[in-house]
A = this chain, B = another copy of it.
């Protein structure tokens, strides 16, 4: 970045994800029949889904395509003019941009898509079709009702470079994971007043790590697990449920029919003050990723979804050349501690394998 960059757009929040899926019917069954997202609109090529408290057209677009990938991570901006600002900002950064006055997907108006400096397809829009906010429609709620889109999580080789870019774009860091040398393994970035609208996880990228939806209470997440068991789909549960150290939220990670990762999330904290304290976690603290010290499955570190460029082709993936969080905590967190300085091991699966 240089001093001469124009101002960034005023981003309100993460708003929707466009996801390419290889079997639209299978994906629809997963997101609608199992997870209970609401269909705003659909045709033979795409399904537009929203959560129960959403009033914009969609939070997730499932689009049929040949290669499973994330086509756009879309952010809402504060004014129509902020789309212009976004376009100018990324052009000044030398990024490829594409502007469409009528939007890239149904329900969204004037929007700009960019391939950002990290290689991710970001979209910025203001105009959007309003639909009914179903918050009071309790007759539609399932035991695991998803009520909001909470955040994205992106995999990138160089988290430090990514932080500099996202902070310049107007995001604020709320938490991060570092080692004793100050190397950053992951960081969380917010515009709305939650712990994040997106996060960067160190690894081979650009890839999408996951999209996260919120429930109201922890039992809603447990109900999703119970239902997956009843449907004999428990093997889509990759990690959790558990309590995060980072964000203090209660979580579950599941994998959709293409392997795209979805987090179900609830109860992080308010971060809206300008001097909200940043929380830094030690990469060797075994409670940073799971407050109860339960092991992180290796695939959670290694797997992620491809992302597409503006032509719809997968962006080539570059390896991380810095230490990986998986490796420095290897043996399912075997190098990690529960109590700093204490070598006692406890009864965890990670410790036993």
Name A's B-contacting residues (CB within 8 A).
12-13, 53, 55-56, 76, 78-79, 130, 133, 135-143, 145, 147-148, 192-193, 216-219, 222-223, 225-239, 241, 243, 245, 248, 250, 255, 267, 269-270, 272-277, 286-287, 291-295, 297-299, 303, 332, 338-339, 344-349, 351-353
**B residues less than 8 Å from A136 (CB atoms):** 229-230, 245, 248, 291
Q: Compute how far the CA of A276 lies from the CA of B128 in the bound complex, rounded to whole angstroms.
A: 12
B142:A237 contact, CB within 8 angstroms: no
B345:A273 contact, CB within 8 angstroms: no
Q: Which of A141, A226, A229, A286 has the most CB of B within 10 A?
A: A229
B293:A235 contact, CB within 8 angstroms: yes
Tell me how far the C-beta of A85 lies from the nearest C-beta in chain B, rounded to whole angstroms: 15
Q: Which of A141, A222, A223, A235 has the most CB of B within 10 A?
A: A235
Q: Compute how far the CA of A223 lies from the CA of B255 in the bound complex, rounded to whole angstroms.
A: 27
B234:A286 contact, CB within 8 angstroms: yes
From B217, B229, B287, contact of A292 by CB (8 A): B229
The chain B residue with its CB closest to the CB of A267 is: B216
B292:A237 contact, CB within 8 angstroms: yes
A347:B238 contact, CB within 8 angstroms: yes
A344:B293 contact, CB within 8 angstroms: no
Q: Compute how far the CA of A267 lies from the CA of B136 in the bound complex, rounded to whole angstroms.
A: 12
From B142, B192, B255, contact of A347 by CB (8 A): B255
Q: Compute how far the CA of A338 lies from the CA of B142 in the bound complex, rounded to whole angstroms.
A: 24
B225:A297 contact, CB within 8 angstroms: no
